[in-house]
A and B are shown apart, each in its own frame.
Chain A
């Protein structure tokens, strides 16, 4: 009798239960109905993707300077190429673009510095970003100091203007929103009613009306020799409008903090501002990150409305370029470009907020 004393070598699981094939079988092709749906889905995907890729890449024209360089069989990226400087800087004088570039570089460096955890001196960088940088950016962009030629704000435009509007709006709206949210929960009747009226007024009117009032109606009420820059008016309108929304988002966060937190802090003898600044707000803001970023993203996209008051933001300058008789008929390319740029910024904000949520996660989520 032969005794087999050797162990059978362990074998990998049968190919029918692991690996991509098995995954496909169990998820996409398990049964006739799912198989049919999978095939239909693949076919639809094929119908969508192939022409898109062909249009955007394979048949597209990339090099050239005029519309005649485009075969018209695919996308004409020549148009975007020829207009790129305008799309980024608006009508900013070409000879002064280096100034805008410095501001761009500083802006992205500061954001990266604040966002990347390993880099040191976060506090000082943050203070500089909020206090020093805006002054430097203003001096550089606007000019009029240190022999820099003045560039009036009506020449600012494109992506530069979009980022400016969005950044000032966000940086302005968050603190104002926090103050309004705290004010609305206050027991002091005057503070409370002021905040309620402010929030309800700004939330009750459409942004387009706010901008329109700021741009057109305001000069009618002001004395004729007094004029406020269009861009400044738009910035103030946008900031106040968004701060009302921000206030309600933050108030939602404040309400989610159990009352015991504040009572415990009070029992320790903390003043109101210490209670808020050290106990309540850090918890509330952390919880409200999705809501706050939501508001930021919607603000970023709302900046396109400044088009109606004659400021060329990114979308506005693209639309203006579409009317140039030398480039008529390339609206699809223009809009795809604008959408792509907006997507980059909105998606980055969204990813950063998810990263922040993970980083600040201290077990408060259920």
Chain B
């Protein structure tokens, strides 16, 4: 991956200079409606976030975000044209107009937000570096890992985060470095190290590759911030709003108890927040250039945030990742959406 990274750095540095023509393309919504599909840049292969199933369908949290945007903008969640993008070409593809929205496990950082001509619209998944240990070690917290042998991947920020974390906590460790996720999980399984450290979402995907996934547990500590979210081109505030509020609508729906299963019953709800969300009251959809039932379509066809989380990475998936930081603010997490009113 090192060459890809260097190439990526080169493109990242080069990209701002090429960004100028893209801003000329305003009114993405009009283009989307004319084309009758949303072009959504996704990862070709990221377990839980975007991957192809046996029936040629994309499954994952990131791809469901794309579907939600299509449901809001076109009233049909299936009208998404998924464009698989390499980590190197993703920003250029967004800038050149190849895709309307980038939903590809992209970490929101200041440099990307300010220099690449793109706007992040929110956080669909709070990721961060975590630790996985063999369950028979009986370790409960990362603070107990003093002197452990830790497997990591080379050329990633996780090596750096690791050394910072251990220095701050006055602990020592031996790094065992691998080149790819497959190699590091094989090393962990073979007992080359006691601990495997990587982004939490990846750890859970690696965990189910073990012969017996129950032999390992992911510790609760998260030692770095990796907020992943969708991004759009700068210069089209209407489209920016649509993508932003598609995600917020899913979070608000969960908060209000409106789910894919009960959304039709909730249409007759007397709760003013629910009525505003589902377009029974007010014209919040029209203000974005959408129909008034935009959020209803999202929840009906794709689901609320809990639905897509559980289906793809949470309790109903193979990964079974606890909500953690991604729980709603009222449930102890930090997922918080501004109200619709």
Contacts and interface: CB of A to CB of B under 8 A. Distances in A.
Interface in A208-225: 208, 212, 215-217, 219-220, 224
A310 B86 contact: yes
B219 interface: no
A154 to B, nearest CB: 7
22 contacts: A82-B54, A83-B54, A94-B55, A215-B89, A217-B18, A220-B22, A224-B97, A310-B44, A310-B83, A320-B52, A320-B84, A321-B52, A322-B45, A323-B44, A323-B51, A323-B52, A324-B53, A325-B208, A325-B319, A328-B209, A328-B318, A329-B209
Interface in A70-112: 72, 82-83, 86, 91, 94
A217 B10 CA distance: 13
A78 to B, nearest CB: 11
Nearest to A89: B56
Contact of B45 (A154, A220, A320): A320
Interface of A: 72, 82-83, 86, 91, 94, 152, 154, 208, 212, 215-217, 219-220, 224, 307-310, 312, 316-317, 319-326, 328-329, 331
Q: In this complex, which of B98, B182, B205 has the most chain A Cβ atoms within 10 angstroms of its Cβ?
A: B98
A224 B24 contact: yes
B175 interface: no
A328 B44 contact: no
Interface in B66-115: 81, 83-86, 88-89, 92-93, 95-98
Interface of B: 7, 18, 21-22, 24-25, 44-48, 51-56, 59, 81, 83-86, 88-89, 92-93, 95-98, 182, 205, 208-211, 317-319
Contacts of A83: 54
A330 to B, nearest CB: 9
B56 A94 contact: yes
Contact of B25 (A224, A307, A328): A224
A216 B86 CA distance: 11
A228 to B, nearest CB: 11
Contacts of A326: 53-54, 318
B contact face: mostly helix, strand, loop, or mixed: loop
A331 B205 CA distance: 13
A309 B89 contact: yes
A194 to B, nearest CB: 28
A323 B97 contact: no
A319 B21 contact: no
B4 to A, nearest CB: 8
A83 B98 CA distance: 29
The 10 closest A-B pairs by CB, nearest first: A323-B45, A329-B209, A323-B51, A219-B96, A216-B92, A310-B84, A325-B318, A308-B86, A91-B56, A324-B51
Given A224-B97, A320-B84, A331-B182, A325 B48 contact: yes
B84 A308 contact: no
A72 B211 contact: yes
A251 B48 CA distance: 52
Q: In this complex, which of B7, B44, B93 has the most chain A Cβ atoms within 10 angstroms of its Cβ?
A: B44
